[in-house]
Amino acid sequence: MSTNAQQTEGPTPAPTLQIAEARAFFKEWLTIPFKAYSVQHLPSETTYTVRDEIIAVDDGSFSVRCIVPVGDDEHETFPVLVYIHGGGWSSGDVELDDYHLRKVAVDLKLSIVNVNYRLAPEHPFPTAVNDGLAALKWIVSNAPLLKANLSKGFIISGHSAGANLSTVLSHEARDDPFFRGPGRQLTGQLLREPMVIHPDFHPEELKAELRSIEEHPPPPVVRAVMEFYNPDPLDPRFSPLLYPSHVGVPRAYVQGMGLDSFRDDARVYVKALRQAGVESKYTEYPGVSHGFHYSTPETEIAVKVRADLEEGLKWLLGRESSL
């Protein structure tokens, strides 16, 4: 999906101009530098395959990019990682993490499905949630195409808005009868800098714990992208901390940044999961802000964030991990 709006003749309506600017900013400051860095670390093309698939839904379609490692024999099967990109529900696409995910697929021998969900404001809330759920069902129904054995692992992951969607989908899949039965249930959630509650609707009993939104106020673009997405702030499909229960969602590895407006969202969500009996691990990185590892991917701490990501995946897959 293109990250740039097409130019039109004559005056451009303000909302169109705003979303075009947001998408251009996202591409310039996040996608371009991270792809330029990640291309240097791509594994050999002989070690994996890539193909894009179209998933049809009632009101349209969207695509997924499937990365499948080359096994030791033609019958080898792999766990699956579902990845949902960030961008405030309105920017970004599968290109952001594409090269990095190819490395992860080969390093950890797992198939990856990178979801190119439809973006707001053209497709407002809850389109991204619906697309994510459709992608999960597609994976279950098309496991042979991915050389997948979901009993080996079925993990959902994402960054920022993608982490918000992953958190939501962990709950939606838990409650959806389609995912009941062997080899259908999500087994893990890997969340990078999630927002789990609308910043204007913090529950009174949690306001003392949700201080980072005031300590590190988000830039205006954060408010803008939420307006593009146009969610119901109190709907758990946007504010997943508000689900009546977190019991039964898959165990989680969560990363938070010390200077992030949503640092405390990560902390509070991990606490809520543990109180619900969900095994969870949390890593926080001091002195850095939301998404810094995309714009400055070569820094030592950004390298550590990505290394910890792989260790978190190993832990979620039940493999030996340094976490």
Domain boundaries, the chain: 33-316
Kind and range of the H or E element at 215? helix 212-215
**Of 106, 85, 100, nearest to 38 (Cα)?**
100
CA 158 from chain center: how many Å?
1
In this structure, the chain runs to a length of 323
* Distance of alpha carbon 83 from alpha carbon 72, whole angstroms: 24
Long-range contacts formed by 309-314: CB under 8 A, 24+ apart:
309/104, 309/190, 309/192, 309/255, 310/104, 310/107, 310/108, 312/190, 312/253, 312/255, 312/281, 312/283, 313/81, 313/104, 313/108, 313/110, 313/155, 313/157, 313/190, 313/253, 314/108
Paired sense of beta strands 60-69 and 48-57, if any: antiparallel
* Distance of alpha carbon 253 from alpha carbon 153, whole angstroms: 14
Neighbours of 183 (CB within 10 A): 13
Tens digit of each residue's pLDDT, the chain (323 residues): 333 333 333 333 334 458 998 999 999 999 999 999 999 999 999 999 999 999 999 999 999 999 999 999 989 999 999 999 999 999 999 999 999 999 999 999 999 999 999 999 999 999 999 999 999 999 999 999 999 999 999 999 999 999 999 999 999 999 999 999 989 999 999 999 999 999 999 999 999 999 999 999 998 888 889 999 999 999 999 999 999 999 999 999 999 999 999 999 999 999 999 999 999 999 999 999 999 999 999 999 999 999 999 999 999 999 999 99
Structure tokens at 252: 């989680």
pTM attached to this predicted model: 0.94
Q: Which amino acid is at 62?
A: F
First to last CA, the chain: 36
The torsion angle over the Cα atoms of residues 4, 64, 246 and 214, rounded to 10 degrees, is -20
Kind and range of the H or E element at 190? strand 188-192
Q: Which amino acid is at 128?
A: A
Roughly what angle, to the nearest 10 degrees, separates helices 300-316 and 98-108?
50
- DSSP, collapsed to helix, strand or coil, labels residue 10 as coil
Residue showing tokens 């619900």 = 276
* Distance of alpha carbon 202 from alpha carbon 205, whole angstroms: 8
Paired sense of beta strands 280-285 and 111-116, if any: unpaired
Domain made up of 33-316: CATH architecture = 3-Layer(aba) Sandwich (3.40)
Q: In whole angstroms, how far apart are CA 220 and each of 56, 217, 277, 294?
A: 34, 9, 37, 20
